[in-house]
Structure 1
Amino acid sequence: MAKSAAHPTAPEGGVGEVAREFSRLGVTSFGGPVAHLGYFRTAFVERLRWMSDRAYADLVALCQFLPGPASSQVGMAVGLSRAGYRGMAVAWAGFTIPSIIALVLFGYAVDSLGDISNAGWIAGLKAVAVAVVAHALLGMAKNLASDRERATIAAGAMVFVLLVPGAFGQVGAIAAAGVVGILWLRAKIDDADAHLPLPVRPAVGIASLVLFVALLAAVPLLVTITNSDALRLFDVFYRSGALVFGGGHVVLPLLQAEMVETGMVGVEEFLAGYGAAQAVPGPLFTFAAYLGALNEGGPNGILGAAIATVGIFLPATLLVLGVAPFWNRVRQIPLIRRALLGVNAGVVGILAAALYDPVFTSGITGPVTMAIGVAAFIALHSWKLAPWIVVVLGALAGWVFL
């Protein structure tokens, strides 16, 4: 394993490099947002050394505080750091578009395919996700919770999240870990290895934050004035992306209330799409594309999918651009640095809690999935196989034995 705590040594890359790496992740990153963060760490900290473990953990901590899809925001920030605005765009596209295409196609064929959530190859992928998260947890704990104080914070965060599930538990655990870090931990003076270049001018950042708030306030008013079905669809998904903390599964109750209870999508189609969303790689927020394609109350098909996708991911994009110009300066403040040490340990605890529930509880359902998970972990941790190879082998094992 490369020394992830060392200062990154790889030269600045181009847009093509970012597109290649995120396109690979876009077709192999199964298992949900926590697993995505594990895949990202393996790729960008261990294998490519684009950033240090501390810089990556700081970035994850920041995105956990922001509403929207945390793994997508981390990916956008990595692309932005590596190749500017174009890097941010291709990082999002490479990671997201494969699952959008898969879910829109599934939307067209939902009546004939039915529920695929219990297929054997999907069970194999869920078992592999357990190995991916466990591998990431070990690596992050070694660097971010290696002393007794931070290990204690990590354990406390894990217990809190397990006892208080949902977005409140995650945000509460992070906030508490930050407070404990301020009161208990001492920051290192040398922070160079945690610096992450985010080339966004302050004026662009402020404009992005203003636009984020303005759209949140103005779009519902425009819907009332114009009675536009397209704006109404955009409003549903923009509010979902802007107001939901925790991402992933947390957004599903809101989407169900907005789409099913209003008659825009039938309950059977909603549940079938939710099952399909578990089976595709990439962010769960791409479920929006499926719902937009099946929208019965206005734009649907490709246009509906495009409106829904832009609506749900635009808030995350604006927030990343909004905080980027100020992040490295803010995180150098001693008080903030101590808080981040605590928060990073808290993130380790949250990852440990997620490893148990939902990753382990949904991925390990019997002796066969346990065997697949253990084999995948050994392949990643000891044999150093590329994650995409492990994903393919896990899916094949599930298809053959389950």
Structure 2
Amino acid sequence: MWQIFIRFFMLGLTSFGGPAAHIGYFRQTFVKELNWIDEARFGSLVALSQFLPGPGSSQLGFAIGLSRGGLGGALAAFIGFTLPSAMLMYLIAVTSANVLGQEWFNGMINGLKLLAVVVVLDACLGMFRQFCQSTAAKLLMAASAASLLLVGSSLMQFAVLLLAAIIGSRLLVRGEGDAAPVRGIGWGWLGAFAALLLAAVALLPTLAPGSAAWLGAVGFQAGSLVFGGGHVVLPLLEGHFEAVMSPDRFLTGYAAAQAIPGPMFTLATFLGADAATGDSVAGALIATLGIFVPGFLLILAFLPAWQGLSQRPRIAGAVAGVNAAVVGLLLSALYQPIWTSAVSGPRDVALIILGVAALKLLKLPILALVAAFAAGGGLLL
């Protein structure tokens, strides 16, 4: 268990670049260097993590740990990979408020908000090329983006993803006929997930914003409904936390999540610590567990049956539909709240263009861009 923890802890300290980059780090470490799993098994786990809602790269790490060391190995992988970024996000939450009035800090945050535009724009382009190759997928993406720009509620996001899955299962199917019934689903884990999600949805309107139960319910609902991981969780959380913090404060957390290694879902750590009406440590812990637990329950439920399930053409089509809708969701988030909160004039647009060039043409690492945008924002305020 300690070996699993240490390997994932080191990755949590050094894995910059978001979920797609994390997959590359995992492959290099666990397939190429350690030979814990082979290429075929790794590819199957990647597919499962993309099929299920939740934090994709963290679910992949959890599944690798589960395959290597059972439930204990899965927990060791999760704690190791998440702990560095969660601690950093908590420290940022409890210390940044003391310097928010200072010009240099506000400039640095403005610079990081502009970097968020660059990163999300790059994610939109990359995911579009990967998931929107057919005309039907492109139309699903466009319809999803337009719907979410017009009605940006969490309910609309869920409806868009559900409808995309149904359409994908009809229009994006490859092959003919379904395989034999799949066995091995962990119904106990799946039942726990369903019960907790229903409780979170039912109780959330009755809970006091900022309370421990409210933080847990918001986190669990977001972690249960977000497909695509990383950036896509932003609009799912923003609608809830606008009741307890300003848009600038929310985007401060999002910008900080861009700037650190490890899973972007530790944005919940920042939000929990900042919004908690009680102890900030408890708030951060509850929000963090709330957003990660749904995806892990689903991994535990479906991993044993995934090999057979993923070969069913209609399931594969539904996944393709959801992936196309995720690109549309991400595109809508690029405009609101990211672009509208970060860009105020031609100078900001110019910095974004330079950032895109540095990322795509010069291939600068994300850490270098973080430093450049933070420094540039502070100097150009």
Whether TM-score is above 0.5 comes out as yes
Corresponding residue for residue 374 of structure 1 = 353
Corresponding residue for residue 91 of structure 1 = 81
Decide which of 169, 175, 178 is 2:162's aligned counterpart.
175
Return closer, same or farther for 1:207/1:353 CA change in 2, 3 Å cut-off.
same
Give the match's secondary structure for 2:152: coil
Give the match's secondary structure for 1:153: helix
Corresponding residue for residue 253 of structure 2 = 277
Per-residue Cα deviation, 1:35-71 (whole angstroms, up to 9, x for no partner): xxxx2114425995789999757634521xxxxxx4x
Return closer, same or farther for 1:210/1:399 CA change in 2, 3 Å cut-off.
same
Corresponding residue for residue 343 of structure 2 = 364
**Deviation (angstroms), 1:252:** 5.9
Corresponding residue for residue 272 of structure 2 = 288
Corresponding residue for residue 331 of structure 1 = 310
Corresponding residue for residue 351 of structure 1 = 330
- Count the aligned residue pairs: 328
Give the match's secondary structure for 1:146: coil
Corresponding residue for residue 220 of structure 2 = 242
Letter in 1 for 2:59: A
Return closer, same or farther for 1:216/1:135 CA change in 2, 3 Å cut-off.
closer
Per-residue Cα deviation, 1:377-398 (whole angstroms, up to 9, x for no partner): 1111111111121111111111
Letter in 2 for 1:288: G
Decide which of 137, 146, 150 is 2:124's aligned counterpart.
137
**Deviation (angstroms), 1:274:** 4.3
Per-residue Cα deviation, 1:49-102 (whole angstroms, up to 9, x for no partner): 789999757634521xxxxxx4xx223212123333022332222342310232
Give the match's secondary structure for 1:332: coil
TM-score when scaled to structure 1? 0.67
Contact kept in structure 2, 1:233 and 1:308, CA below 8 Å:
no
**Deviation (angstroms), 1:105:** 3.9
Per-residue Cα deviation, 1:312-334 (whole angstroms, up to 9, x for no partner): 65455434434444444433211
Corresponding residue for residue 74 of structure 1 = 56
**Deviation (angstroms), 1:308:** 5.6
Contact kept in structure 1, 2:343 and 2:349, CA below 8 Å:
yes
CA distance in 1, matches of 2:330, 2:345: 23
Contact kept in structure 1, 2:107 and 2:378, CA below 8 Å:
yes
Contact kept in structure 2, 1:58 and 1:340, CA below 8 Å:
no
**Deviation (angstroms), 1:162:** 1.4
Return closer, same or farther for 1:154/1:384 CA change in 2, 3 Å cut-off.
same
Corresponding residue for residue 148 of structure 1 = 135
Give the match's secondary structure for 1:186: coil
TM-score when scaled to structure 2? 0.71
CA distance in 1, matches of 2:338, 2:247: 20
Matched, 1:166 2:153: yes
Decide which of 172, 190, 207 is 1:185's aligned counterpart.
172
Give the match's secondary structure for 2:363: coil
Matched, 1:123 2:110: yes
CA distance in 2, matches of 1:386, 1:173: 34
Give the match's secondary structure for 2:77: helix
Contact kept in structure 2, 1:54 and 1:144, CA below 8 Å:
no
RMSD between superposed Cα atoms in Å:
3.9
Give the match's secondary structure for 2:144: helix
Matched, 1:104 2:82: no
Corresponding residue for residue 36 of structure 2 = none
CA distance in 2, matches of 1:312, 1:186: 31
Return closer, same or farther for 1:317/1:343 CA change in 2, 3 Å cut-off.
closer
Corresponding residue for residue 99 of structure 2 = 113
CA distance in 2, matches of 1:124, 1:54: 38
Letter in 2 for 1:343: V
Return closer, same or farther for 1:351/1:256 CA change in 2, 3 Å cut-off.
closer
Letter in 2 for 1:170: Q
Give the match's secondary structure for 1:385: coil
5+ residue gaps, structure 1: 1-12, 30-38, 64-69, 190-200, 220-231, 261-266
CA distance in 1, matches of 2:311, 2:160: 22
Matched, 1:401 2:380: yes
Return closer, same or farther for 1:82/1:358 CA change in 2, 3 Å cut-off.
same
Per-residue Cα deviation, 1:101-122 (whole angstroms, up to 9, x for no partner): 322345xxx4x43557981111
Return closer, same or farther for 1:185/1:206 CA change in 2, 3 Å cut-off.
closer
Percent identity of the aligned residues?
Answer: 25
**Deviation (angstroms), 1:336:** 0.9
5+ residue gaps, structure 2: 32-38, 67-73, 177-182, 201-209, 227-232, 258-263
